[in-house]
Amino acid sequence: MHAPWCSILLHVDATPASVTRLQVALDIAERHDARITALFAGVSPQGEGSFTYSAAAALDDLEGSRRSEWRHVAISRLRRAAGDDRSRIAWSEIGADELVRGFIAESAYADLLIVGTPASADAEAGGPPSAFVESVVLESGRPVLVLPDAASCAQLGRRILVAWNGSPQAARAVTGALPLLVAAESVHVASWSHLPPSAPCSGLAIDGFLARHGIAAELLLRAPGARIGDELGEMAQRLGADLVVMGCYGHSRARERVLGGVSRSMLQARRMPLLLAH
């Protein structure tokens, strides 16, 4: 029996996409009888880069009042969106300059993390700081559900596409997604390799592994190529998938987080929900 999702950690901010993330989180929580910790943080529209006072801002009562009003409006909107399901949610707040460290520390007490897509160069004010999503995926050790701004609030995970290469990252992603996979209407597993997607000693194939969990999956075998990210996105659209499950690679460079090519291209496309694990 797969381990259930009992605790969900959700990032919310002052952007409209947060309402969508909240509604998706509530839908998942209802299906799995889970509790949500909604952690509110984002970059201030005034451009200060933090909800917490700097030494200069502490002397500016007007600026402090504007920040307080901004936070109040954003959080009130989210609470209204939660409606009658507020009993499932514990609300918390953290400064934007502490979001990456705080969210990752909090993730140790969650089964599933839900965030938005990485901030773009022209992202609206009120969202997360840059590199937040990448850092969470690479450092949390938890499955991370990344929802694009236009994600549907309808039940997520009815048609799932798994990108499989036998790596530890892919295995963690599949294990993390089991609560959704066992309830899915259809599951497809795509593999880009000249070798069959099976264990080297026992010969157990990935579809056989999933079958042991009661999941009937169809294999889609493709030859390796240079456009795997594009092919994966095209395949997901062709199958009508509402979720892609995949492992992701990554490493640090000076002052930035770098994801592997396929995961990076899928995140940048911002087209569909992704469940990632590193």
Query: CA 115, 116, 117, 118 torsion: positive or negative?
Result: negative
Which CATH superfamily does the domain covering 7-147 fall into? HUPs (3.40.50.620)
Mean pLDDT of the chain: 84
| Residues in Cβ contact with 114 at an 8 Å cutoff, skipping those fewer than 6 apart | 8, 9, 10, 11, 21, 24, 25, 28, 144, 145, 147
Q: What is the percent of the chain where pLDDT is above 70?
A: 81
Q: Which residue has the higher pLDDT, 104 or 251?
A: 104
Cα 237 versus chain centre, distance? 19
What DSSP character marks residue 143? -
Whole-number pLDDT of residue 53 = 46
pLDDT digits (tens, 9 = 90+) for 182-215: 999 999 999 998 778 999 999 999 999 999 999 9
For residue 49, the model assigns a pLDDT of: 44
What are the distances in angstroms from CA 244 to CA 76, 193, 263? Answer: 32, 18, 11
Q: Is 268 helix (H, G, I), strand (E, B) or coil?
A: helix
Global pTM reads 0.86
Name the pLDDT band for 98 (thresholds 50, 70, 90).
very high
Q: Where are the domains of the chain?
A: 7-147, 159-277
Mention every residue, 6+ apart, whose C-beta is less than 8 A from residue 12. Answer: 18, 21, 22, 38, 39, 40, 78
Identical fold for domains 7-147 and 159-277, yes or no, is yes
Higher pLDDT, 54 or 130: 130
More confident residue, 121 or 221: 221
What CATH number does the domain located at 159-277 have? Answer: 3.40.50.620
> Looking at per-residue confidence, does 251 or 72 come out higher?
72
